[in-house]
Amino acid sequence: MIKTLHSWQEALRVYLKPRVITMLFLGFSAGLPFLLVFSTLSAWLTDEGLTRSAIGFFSWVGITYSIKVFWSPVIDRLPLFPFTHLLGQRRGWILLAQIGIACGLLGMAFSDPNQNLTAVALFALLVAFSSATQDVAIDAYRIEAVEKELQGAMAASYIFGYRVALLAAGAGAFYIADFTNWQTAYISMAGLMLVGIVTVLLIAEPERKVSNETMMQEQRVIDYMERSAHLPDYVRTAVSWFIGAVVCPFIDFFKRNGSLALVILLLVGVYRISDITMGVMANPFYLDLGFSKVEIANVSKIFGFFMTIFGAGLGGILVVRYGIMRPLLLGAIMVSATNLLFAYMASVEPNLTLLAIVISADNLSGGLAGAAFIAYLSSLVNTAYTATQYALFSSLMTLPAKFLGGFSGIVVDSQGYAFFFIYASLVGIPAILLVLYLMKKNNVDKELNK
């Protein structure tokens, strides 16, 4: 059970803890590569005169972020000489990934898209793969570095660093490219990876705690080795590694959570549906209302950025103050409710002040819900399998939402924006009900255990 602190002063002081501050810089390192293989790269290729078809194919490099769960067991278990020997399992993998990102960005900078587009694509793939690997390793570090009640603050700090990095890789890269060229912009971005590299070299490796139950589960792998002495050594080694690194994390999750395991996975899959479904149509909605691109950008950058950071920070404080489940419920309710503000805006005359209010409310609720949800996912993880289990959750939390979001345009075209935003609000109700069910179930279990 996660303990809570009983004063607001103690809750606020959580952001002064060294490892919480560390997540600012690791969040920056995680966020920097993202736009450089997506929208910023698309702008560069457009300036170079490439066809829209060629630019579209580059979006495929983003698939690496969705399938990182497949190599997360390697990050969990495989020692990486000399990195893990010198730095430890988490810091070693983070540093290798950061070096891969920096090398990939430099490779892109020194490749001419018009002369060797294949080289640009391969270096972009290296950046995306290394970035996804860094995400897995940083998530594992974050979960293992502090106790569970601090995960909301760790998430908020991470989100702040990530958002600053998006500004650097987006607007910052554009400014540099405008004054010089895109090659210089990408070289500069590679240099900014030193923020993460220096951080990894300065911080300490977190302690991994393995429960007795997990050790007994791992003993089964050893038993398998003893029973399969007749098989070739390479087969026994490969199978035992697969069981320990891939099978055991899933068995562990279902064993620890019992009958609630499927309910928890369902909540993971639906919690962000309302948020992501609405987000698909947000910018088309603003444009169709008649707001200019400059107005949208100014409101989004000023109000959107700071309200997201404020919401995430508030979410972290609430997790420390009240535990995880109540902020998780509040976040789900706020995300669903703010979609109704968009429905209202669709039914009245366009108003820049109203736009700022709605975007502020949306980003505030999204930031709070995001911090609480990351803290919740982190609480589900067994530190013996941190990278594997969290990568599974982070993949699952976006797939259903992205699938449902694909139908957003059809709903708008057939029923209009007001109906769509009401629909986006309603699809958030299952998440609210599932959180309430888990809260009730947890309270019942506590009463039975007294």
Q: b/e map of 96-129 (b: 16 or more CB within 10 Å)? A: bbbebbbbbbbbbbebebeeebeebbbbbbbbbb
Are residues 383 and 264 both part of a single domain? yes
Same domain? For 35 and 117 the reply is yes
Q: Which of 175, 202, 229 is the last residue of a domain?
A: 202
Is residue 278 in some structural domain?
Answer: yes
Helix 117-145 crosses helix 18-36 at what angle (to 10 degrees)? 160
Residue listed under structure tokens 């891939």: 246
**pLDDT tens digit string along 143-183?**
999 988 889 899 999 999 999 999 999 889 988 998 999 99
Counting the structural domains of the chain, the total is 2
Any idea what the Cα angle at residue 37 is, between residues 33 and 38, rounded to 5°?
Answer: 115
Q: How crowded is residue 131: how many other Cβ atoms within 10 Å of its Cβ?
A: 27
152 found inside a domain: yes
- Angle of helix 273-288 relative to helix 352-379, nearest 10 degrees? 160
Do the domain assignments include residue 38?
yes
Instruction: Confirm if 161 and 24 have CB atoms less than 8 A apart.
Output: yes
Q: Does residue 140 share a domain with residue 260?
A: no
Asked which of 144, 177, 202 is the last residue of a domain, the reply is 202
Arithmetic mean of pLDDT, 12-39: 93
Say if residues 45 and 58 touch (Cβ distance below 8 Å). yes
Q: How confident is the model at residue 1 (pLDDT cuts 50, 70, 90)?
A: very low
pLDDT value for 448:
46
Helices 408-415 and 273-288, axial angle in degrees (round to 10): 50
> What is the rounded CA–CA span in Å between residue 392 and residue 259?
19
Contacts of 123 (CB under 8 A, 6+ apart): 104, 105, 107, 108, 111
Query: Domain of 315: which CATH number?
Result: 1.20.1250.20
Look at 224-238, 292-306, 341-355, 409-423 and tell me which has the smallest mean pLDDT.
224-238
User: Do 113 and 53 share a structural domain?
Assistant: yes
The label of the residue with tokens 């479904």 reads: 277
Packed helices 182-192 and 18-36: angle between N→C axes, nearest 10 degrees: 160
In this structure, the chain runs to a length of 450
Angle of helix 151-167 versus helix 18-36 axis, rounded to 10: 40
Host domain of residue 183:
8-202
Domain termination site, one of 146, 174, 202: 202
- Of 374, 76, 20, nearest to 203 (Cα)? 20
In this structure, is residue 116 part of a structural domain? yes
Same domain, 325 and 426: yes
Residue 41 has pLDDT above 80, yes or no: yes
Residues 194, 260, single domain; the answer is no
Tokens of 350: 């366009």
Is residue 285 in a domain?
yes
Q: From CA 211, how far away is CA 207, in angstroms rounded?
A: 13
Cα(31)–Cα(134) distance, rounded to whole angstroms? Answer: 10
| 33 in any annotated domain | yes
Q: Is residue 209 part of a domain?
A: no
Higher pLDDT, 246 or 330: 330
386 and 317 co-located in one domain: yes
Residue 184 contacts residue 48 (beta carbons within 8 Å): no
**Same domain (yes/no): 192, 285:** no
Of 334, 21, 371, nearest to 161 by C-alpha is 21
* Co-location of 260 and 123 in the same domain: no
Identify which of 432, 391, 136 has the alpha carbon closest to the alpha carbon of residue 253: 391
Q: pTM for the whole thing?
A: 0.80
- Statement to judge: residues 175 and 270 lie in one domain: no
Tell me how far apart the alpha carbons of residues 148 and 319 are, in angstroms, rounded to a whole number: 9
Buried b (16+ CB within 10 A) or exposed e, 269-284: bbbbbbbbbbbbbbee
| 252 and 198 within one domain | no
Domain presence at residue 230: no
Residues 374, 135 contacting (CB under 8 angstroms): no
CA atoms of 306 and 25, how far apart (whole Å): 18
Question: Does the pLDDT value for residue 2 go beyond 60?
Answer: no
198 and 312 share one domain: no
Provide mean pLDDT across the span 426-447: 85
Cis peptide before 206 (omega within 30 of 0): no
Over the stretch 269-290, which tens digit does the pLDDT of each residue have?
Answer: 899 889 888 877 887 888 888 8
